Structure 1
Amino acid sequence: LIESLNFPREDARLRNVKRAHGKTCLWIFSQAEFKQWRDARNVAEHHGFLWIKGKPGSGKSTIMKAYDVRKKKANEVVIAYFFNARATDVLEKSSLGMYRSLVRQLLRALPHLEDAFLEQFHTKANKGDADPWTSTELQEFILQVAESLGHRSLTVFIDALDEGQEDDIRSMIQFLEELGQVSVDSQVSLRICLSSRHYPCIRIKKGIDLVVDSQPGHNNDIASYVNDHLKIDDSTQTEALKQKICAKASGVFLWIVLVIPILNKQADHGHIDAMNKCLDDIPPELDDLFARILERDTENRGEVLRSLQWALYAQRPLSPVELYLAIKAGSESPDELTSEIPHEEAIRRYLLSCSKGLTEVSSSEPPIIQFIHETVRSFLLKENGLTDLQSDLGQSSPGRSHQQLRQNCFRYLLLVDGLPQFDEVSLGKRKRNATSEGKQMDENVKDDISREFPFTEYAVKNVFLHAEAAQSHGLSQRAFLKHLAGEANAAFRKWILLYNIFQRYRIRRYTPRASLLYITSDHNLINLVK
C-alpha cells in the first residue's frame, strides 16, 4: 500500500536541478526575509510561509535545492517537491503527484507513522494493488501529521508552482494555507517555502515574499559565475566587460549560462573589442536569445530542427541513443542509419551540437533528453520558435512536426532486419504459447532487436500516434494509410510482427491477418479511422 504512493520519476526534476555553482546561493541564508521565516517568534505573522519569486531562469530552483544539501538540524524533517512542466506524466506536474510524493517522504523520514497510515487506508488495498489515490485523503493525512509533530520541525519546499495548472495550484495553495493555520493552532514547527515566477499572480493571506532578481546577493552570484567562466585575462578593460555582462543579464542566471560560451568563442581569438560588439548584439530577453542561438549557424539546420521537434513532440522522453537514431532517421543519407552507433560520449556531444545547447542529458536514471529549462519549451511552443529554423512551418508547426516524426519512425522500422518468421507459436495469441519456454523466447527476441536496433520499440509503438496527431492538425495521412492497407504490404506485416514482439500481454497481440482498420480502431485513433 505504501509503495503505491510512488510513481516513475517523482523526484526527477529535483535530481536534475544543477547544484549551485561554488558558494553561490548562500546569501539567502543570511537574508532578513529568510531569518524572519525561520524565527519561531514571527510565525503568527507569516504562518510559516516564504514565497521565493523571480523571473524565468533567475535560479529559483537552484536556490530551493541549496537548502536541501545543507546539514539539517536535529529533529528537523525536510521534504520537497519540484513541479515539472516538461514531464509527460501528469503526476509530475499536478498537486496529486505532489501529495503522493510528500506523504511517501514523510513515511520514510518518520517510520513510526506507517502503522497509522496502514490503518487509516487499509480499505484501499485491493487484491495486492491499491485503489487510486485522491488529493483529499492525502491532504487529510498530511494535516494529521502536522497536528502530531510534537517537538519535531517540518520544512516543506515546493518549487516551480508556475509549471502546474493554475486552477490546480490555486486549490493546492488553499490547502497549504489551511495546513499553516493548523500548525499555528497546534503550536508545532512547520515551514513551507514556495517558489514561482511572478505570473500567474496567486496570493496568500499570510506569508513573506522574497524576490530573487532584485537581491544584491543574487547579483553577486552572477558576477562570481561570470568571473569564473569567462575566459579572458584580468585587466581594466575586461573588468568593464564583466560588469556590462552582469548588467545586461538583469538577474537572469540562465541568460548568463547561455551567453558566456558565445563570448568565449570570441575570447579564444583574443579580441576584447569583438567580445564587446558580440555582447551588444546579444538580446537581453531570453526568448530573443533563444531565437538568436538558433539563427546563429546555418550548418546542419535539418538536424537541429529534428532534434528540437523530437524534444517537443515525442510521446515520451527519449534516451540519448534513441534521439540520436531518431534524428538520423530523418537524414537524406541512408548510410547514416546503417553505420555503427557511436559510443555514449560521442552521442552526447552530437546531441548537444544538434540542439545548440538548448537540450541536455538528464542526470536521472535512466538518462533522458530534456530542455535545459522550461523557458526553452515555452519559446518553441508559444513563440513558434521552430520557424526560426524552417520558416514555412508557420502555424502548422505541430502537425508538420508530428508528420516528420511519423516519417522518421516508419523509415527506421523499414531498416530493422534479422527478424524471426511470423510464428504464432512464439508470437501469436493462442493458449499453447503461455509456457515459460515461449515467454523466454519472446524476451530473447525482444532483447536482441533492442540491442541491435535501439529505436525500434519507440518507433513501433508510436508511429501511428504521430500519424494521428498530424491528422488531428489537418495534415492528411490518407496516402500513408493507403500505402499500408494493401493486402500484400510487407511493411505493415512487419509492423504487426514488431508490435507483437514488444507487446508484453499475449492477448493484445495481433494475428498476421489483422487489418489496418481493426488496429487503428483498437488503438482508438479516431482521426485515422475517419
Structure 2
Amino acid sequence: MERPSGEIVPPRERPQVDGLQEGTEHPRLSSQGSSFNSYGSANQLNAPNGTINNSTGPGNQFPGANFHGPVYFGTREHFDPLRDCLRSLAFPEMNRRSLDIDAAAEGTCEWLLRQKEYTSWASCNRGLLWIKGKPGSGKSTLLQYVLNHVMAISNTGEGALILSFFFHGRGTELQKTPLGLFRSLLHQLLRQVPEALTDLIDTFQQRCETVGKPGEKWQWHLRELQRFFKSSFLKVLETRPLWLFVDALDECGEENAVELAEWFKSLLERPPSSGLKQSRICFTCRHYPILYLDRVFEICVEEENRKDISIFVQEKLSSFRIRTSSTIPKLVTKRADGIFLWAWLVVKQVLGLERKGAGLNEMEAVILSVPQELDILYRQLIQSMSPDSLKLIQWICFAMRPLSLDELRWAMLIEADSRHQSLYECQRVGDYPSDNDVLKRRIQTLSRGLAEVTSDGKVVQFIHQSVKDFFVEKGLSALDETINPDFIVEIAHYRLSRICIRYLAMEEIGRPASHDPYYLKSEFPFLFYAITSWVAHVKQSDASSVPQEDLLEYFTGPSNTLTERWVYIYRILDQFSKDRPPEETSLIHVLSRYGVAGALGAILGRADQVGININAKDERSWAPLEWAAEEGHEAIVRMLLDRGACTEAADKEGMTPLLRAAGNGHKAIVQLLLNRGAHIDAADNTGRTPLMWAAACTTRMGQEFKAQDTLLASNALQTYQLQLLLLERQNRKKLMMAHQEQGAKDKTYLWAAEKEHEAVVRLLLYRGAHIEAADKMGWTPLSYAAENGHEAIVWLLLDRGAHIEAEDKIGWTPLSHAAGNGHEAVVRLLLDRGACIEAKPLLEAAMWGHEAVVRLLLEWGAHIEATEKIGWTPLSHAARNGHEAVVRMLLDRGACTEAADKEGKTPLLKAAERGHEAVVRLLQNYIAQPSSTPLP
C-alpha cells in the first residue's frame, strides 16, 4: 500500500547514508561538444575540443560579427524566441486567483450591465471605470462577471482584445505586485498579438545571447515591462479595440495602487484625432487607499448589491427546513448592509444552528448579536482559540509564500522547542493526520472558518484579504496577550524560523534513502520551504532586535554540521538559484551575506569560546567580510572589522572587500575599509583597481563578464579562443546598450546609481588612488567611465588629470569606448577636452548604429572613409548590421558606396548577405543616382 506524501517510517527502517556525495548526479558543463548557436549569417568556425559556432546563411562571421542566438549547454530543445519569451514571462500562479473566485449566483450582478456609469463607460471611445467597495462586498465576483460578459457578447468589436489580471494579497509575490501584473498582461498580449511586441522579443533574444537563461542569469524588471506594455498597447489600438480588467488593486499595496491607477489613466490619454480604436480599463479597489482620479467612471458596490445579497442568501438557505415561513433570509440580507462576506459567514452559522435543531427565535438572536463590522465579527469568532490556532494563523500570515497542505502539515507538527529528534516521533505524537480531507476539516476548526484550501487544492489561505489584515493589525495580539503588540510580526517570524531549522535538523533529513531531488521533495514535503526560507524568517525577526542568542544552539553549537547539510540540500533542490549558497559556507557567511546583524553579533560574542574562524572562506574563496561588502551591509562590515576580519582577503578572482564595495557604489563601506587600512590600489586578477570598479559604475551587471576579461588578459589563449571571447565582449556591448536604454528611460534610478559611484570615485581620488592605473587589458579608470557613459565621473577624472588619449592593448581610447557605446554626452565632453578623432570611434559608432554619435563625430571632422586593417569603412559596418538611419546619414555625407574590403565585398553585398532589405534598397537607390550631391 502506497504511503501518503510525507508520511515517515521509523528511522531504523531507513538505510544509513551519511556520506553526502553518493547517489546524486550533478549537471556539469562539458568542455567537449558545447555549441554556440547563431541565427544570423556566418561561416562555421571549427575549434578544437568540439566547440563550434553554428550559423545559418551565407556571410562572414569575422570581423564585427555578433551571435544572434542564446548559448545553451546540455539541452536538446531548439531555441524558439516567441515560445521562450512567453515562458520567461509566465509564472505558475498567473491565473490561479481568477479560478478561485466563486461564480456569481444565478440572477446576481445583472444590475451592473444596466447601471448608468457602466453603460457610459462601455460605450465610450476610451474610459477608466473604478468599481469600489468595502472589503467583502463582492467586487471580485462582479469583475469576473463583467469580464465573462464582455468576452461573450458580440458587440465588443471585431477582433477586440481582452486582457485581465486578478491581484491576490494572500498569494505569492508575483500575484500581489505590479511586476506580476505586467508579466501576465504581456504574456497575454504576446500570445495573441506577437507582432505588437517585436521589441520585447528582440530584447529577450539579446539578453539570452549576452547574459544567459532567463530566470537564472537575469530577470524582467517592472519599468521595462511597463514601457513594453504601453508601446504594444498603442500598436494594438491601431487595428483593434482593447479591454483591460484588473481586480483588487488595493491588494498590491497602497503606493502601488495609487501609482497604477494614475498609470492606467495616463495610458488612456491621447488626442481625440489619433485614429486609434476604443480602449477601456476597469479595475476594482476598496475605498482606501484614496484615489484622486478625475474624469473617471465610478460605481460603489455596496450601494447597488442589496438584491444580489438577497438572492445569494436565499440560494444558500434553499435547503432550510422552515424557509417558507422564515424571516431569516431577509434579516441576514438587511444586516449584511452590502457585504457579501458578512452574509456568507452568518449563513454558515445559521446552517450550523439548524443542524443542531435550534429554533427561529434562537437563530434571530444569534444573527442580531453578530457585529456588522467585519473586524469586530472576526474578533468574536477567534475568542478562545487554542495555541495550535495561533500557530496556524502565524503560518498563514507570515509564510514567505502560501503553503500547501502537505507543507502545512509538517509546519504544524514541528515545534521550535521540540525535544524530538526525528520526524517519525513528531508524527507519532502529533495530531495532524496524513489524510488531506481530515486535515482540511482540522484547518477549518482551528481557524474558525477563516481559512480555506484553494479550489485547486494546492495551498492554504484566508477566506478573504480582510482576514489577513485583521490578524496582522489586531487579531494576533488578541490571540496571545502575553506578546508585546509592537513585536507581533517579529516574534512570529522568530518562531517560524526555528521550526524550519528544527525540521532541517531531523534525523531522516540527514539520512535520506536517496539524494534525488524529486525523491527529497516528495518524501519531505516541507524541506524545500525550510531550506529556502529559514534565513528570511531570521532576518525578519532580527529587524526589531528580537534576541537571537539561541541560534548557535539550534545549529548544534560550534559544529558546522547542520550548515553543511543545509548547503548540500539547497544545492540539490534549487540548483540554479542565485541565492544557492556556495559549498563550505558557514553560519557566519550566511548572516553576513543577508545582513542579520543581531544574530551575527550574538554569535561573534561567543566566537572565542566556540572557535569560530571569522576569516573562513567558502568554496568561492569569499570571506564573510567580502559578502557584507558586496551586499552593502555597513553595520555587518563594522562588526566584522571590530572582531579582526582581514581587509585584504582576496577570493579566486582576486576581489577584496574594498573592490566589492567600490564596484557596487557603497561609499560608507569604502571609507570604513580605507580607515581600517585596506590597500587603495589593490587590483583583482584582471588588474582592476577599486577606482576602476567605481568609475565603471556597472555594479553586478559588469561582473557577469569578469571571467571573460580574465581570459582575454591571459597569454594562454589560442587564436580561435581569442576570437570567440572577443565576440562575447561585443555581445557585452549589446547588453550594456540595452541597460543604458532602459536606464535612460528611468532617469531617477540611473541618476541615483551614478551619484553613488561618483561619490566613491571622489573619495578614492581624495585618498590617493592611482588615476592612471591600467588593468591587464590596458583599461584605465577613464576608459571604464567612458565605456559606461558616466559623464560626471569622466568630468571628474579629467579635472584630476586623467590622460585623455590613454590607449588599451587593442588601441582603444576613452573616446572609442564612449562612441562605441553610444554615449553622446561623453563623446561631446571628450571632444571638447581635446580628444583626438581617429578612425576607431566613428567605425564603432557606425557598427552599433549610434546615429547621434556618428553625426557628432562627422561634425567634428571625423574621416568618413576611415578604414580598419581589413578595409571596412563606417558604411560597411552600418550596412552589414542593418542600421538604415546611419547608412542614410553616411550616404548623404558622401560615403563611397563602392568601397570594398580586402575580400572585395562592398557595403551593398554585406547588407544583402545579412538580409537587410531596407538597407539594400537604400544603397541601390544611391548607386543608381551617381550625381547625388553630398551634404556639407
- Give the TM-score normalised by structure 2: 0.49
Counterpart of 2:251?
163
Deviation of 1:403 after TM superposition, in Å, equals: 2.5
Partner residue in 2 for 1:33: 117
Note if contact 1:485-1:516 (Cα within 8 Å) is conserved in structure 2: no
Maintained 8 Å contact 1:324/1:351: no
Match of 2:293 in 1: 204
| Structure-2 residue corresponding to 1:195 | 284
1:367 aligns with 2:454: no
- Corresponding residue of 2:489: 398
Q: Does 1:67 align with 2:120?
A: no
**Residue 99 of structure 1 contacts residue 139 of structure 1 at CA under 8 Å; is this kept in 2?**
no
Contact in 1 for aligned 2:316/2:347 (Cα 8 Å): yes
Structure 1 counterpart of 2:413 = 328
What is the distance in 2 between the residues matched to 1:333 and 1:22?
Answer: 54
User: Helix, strand or coil: the match of 1:370?
Assistant: strand
The alpha-carbon distance between structure 1 residues 309 and 120, as it changes in their structure 2 partners (threshold 3 A), is closer
- The amino acid of 1:207's aligned partner reads V
User: What is residue 446 of structure 2 aligned with on the other side?
Assistant: 354
The one of 318, 325, 330 equivalent to 1:243 is 330
- Preserved CA contact (<8 Å) 1:143 1:179: no
CA pair 126-338 structure 1, distance change in 2 beyond 3 A:
farther
Paired position in structure 2 for 1:386: 476
Measured in 1, the distance between the counterparts of 2:187 and 2:582 equals 36
- Deviation, 1:368, is 1.6
2:570·2:581 contact (CA, 8 Å) conserved in 1?
Answer: no
- Report SS of the residue matched to 2:321: coil
Query: 1:146, 1:190 within 8 Å by CA — same for their partners in 2?
Result: no
The structure 2 residue matched to 1:173, chosen from 247, 256, 261, is 261
The whole-number CA distance in structure 2 between the counterparts of 1:516 and 1:121 is 37
Determine helix, strand or coil for the equivalent of 1:181. coil
Could you say which residue in structure 2 is the equivalent of 1:432?
A: none
**Change in CA separation of 1:501 and 1:101 when aligned onto 2, cut-off 3 Å:** closer
State the TM-score, normalizing by the size of structure 1. 0.83
Q: Which residue of 2 aligns with 1:450?
A: 521
Aligned to 2:374: 286
Pick closer, same or farther for the CA change 1:356–1:204 going to 2, 3 Å: same
Q: Distance in 2 between matches of 1:505 and 1:5?
A: 18
Deviations 1:15-67 (A, max 9, x none): 32222233322221222222222224xx4xxx422211111110101111112
Equivalence map 1:218-233=2 (5 Å): 218-230=305-317, 231-233=319-321
- Residue 435 of structure 1 aligns with which residue? none
Q: Please tell me the residue identity of whatever aligns with 2:477.
A: T
Distance 2:514 2:244 in 1: 46
CA distance in 1, matches of 2:159, 2:138: 29
- Closer/same/farther in 2, CA of residues 505 and 214 from structure 1, 3 Å limit: closer
Bigger mean CA offset, 345-354 vs 248-257: 345-354
Q: Which residue of 2 aligns with 1:502?
A: 573
When the two chains are superposed, the root-mean-square deviation of aligned CA atoms in Å is: 3.1
> Displacement, 1:211?
0.9
Tell me the equivalent position of 2:136. Answer: 57
Counterpart position of 1:274: 362
Q: 2:556, 2:562 within 8 Å by CA — same for their partners in 1?
A: no
In structure 2, the CA distance between the partners of 1:50 and 1:492, relative to structure 1 (3 Å rule), is closer
Counterpart among 335, 344, 348 of residue 436 in structure 2: 344
Tell me: CA distance 1:402–1:246, structure 2 relative to 1, closer, same or farther (3 Å).
same
1:252 and 2:339 matched:
yes
- 1:228 is displaced (CA, Å) by 1.7
Change (3 A) 1:412 1:134: closer
Which residue matches 1:318? 403
The structure showing larger relative contact order (alpha-carbon pairs under 8 Å, at least 6 residues apart) is 1
SS of 1:203's equivalent in the other structure is coil
Residue 19 of structure 1 corresponds to 103
Distance 1:31 1:183 in 2: 28
Q: Distance in 1 between matches of 2:180 and 2:536?
A: 26
Structure with larger Rg: 2
> Residue 258 of structure 2 contacts residue 289 of structure 2 at CA under 8 Å; is this kept in 1?
no
Q: Deviations over 1:473-510 (max 9, x none)?
A: 33212023245363457656655554455352698443
Distance of aligned partners of 1:490 and 1:200 in 2 relative to their CA distance in 1, 3 Å threshold? closer
Q: In the aligned structure 1, how far is the partner of 2:546 from the partner of 2:354?
A: 47
SS in 2 for 1:86: coil
Distance 1:186 1:49 in 2: 19
SS of 2:269's partner is helix
SS in 2 for 1:194: strand
C-alpha distance in 1, partners of 2:265/2:532?
44
Correspondence for 2:171: 87
Measure the CA separation in 2 of the matches of 1:418 and 1:125: 37
Q: Percent identity?
A: 27
Q: What is the identity, as a one-letter code, of the residue corresponding to 1:409? A: C
Kept after mapping to 2: 8 A contact 1:147/1:186: no
Aligned partners of 1:521 and 1:529 also within 8 Å: yes
How far does the alpha carbon of each residue in 1:271-308 deviate from its partner, in whole angstroms, 9 at most, with x for none?
A: 1111111112211011111111111x55xx12211111
Aligned to 1:104: 187
Unaligned runs of at least 5 residues, structure 1:
422-440
Provide the secondary structure at the position in 2 that maps to 1:276.
Answer: helix
For structure 1, which segment, 182-191 or 305-314, has the greater mean C-alpha deviation from structure 2 after superposition?
Answer: 182-191
Quick one: which amino acid aligns to residue 355 of structure 1? S
Alpha carbons of structure 1 residues 256 and 416: separation in structure 2 relative to 1, 3 Å: farther
CA distance in 1, matches of 2:596, 2:132: 42
Distance across 2 between alignment mates of 1:98 and 1:401 = 29
Distance between the aligned counterparts of 1:126 and 1:291, measured in 2? 56
Distance 2:586 2:194 in 1: 54
1:106, distance to aligned residue in structure 2 (A): 1.7
Counterpart of 2:588 (choices 517, 522, 528) is: 517
Q: Residues 117 and 448 from structure 1, CA distance in 2 versus in 1: closer, same or farther, beyond 3 angstroms?
A: closer
Please state whether the residue corresponding to 1:78 is helix, strand or coil: strand
Q: Which residue of 1 aligns with 2:536?
A: 465
- Range moving further from structure 2, 479-488 or 345-354: 479-488
> Is the 2:257–2:289 Cα contact (8 Å) retained in structure 1?
no
Unaligned runs of 5+ in 2: 1-80, 602-936
- Find the aligned partners of 2:235 and 2:509 in 1 and give their Cα distance: 63
Corresponding residue pairs, total: 494
Which string of whole-angstrom CA distances, capped at 9 and with x for unpartnered residues, describes residues 115-145 of structure 1? 4653587655543546634435633543453
CA pair 228-400 structure 1, distance change in 2 beyond 3 A:
same
Q: What corresponds to 1:436 in structure 2?
A: none
Name the one with the larger helix percent: 1
Indicate the SS of the match to 1:510: coil
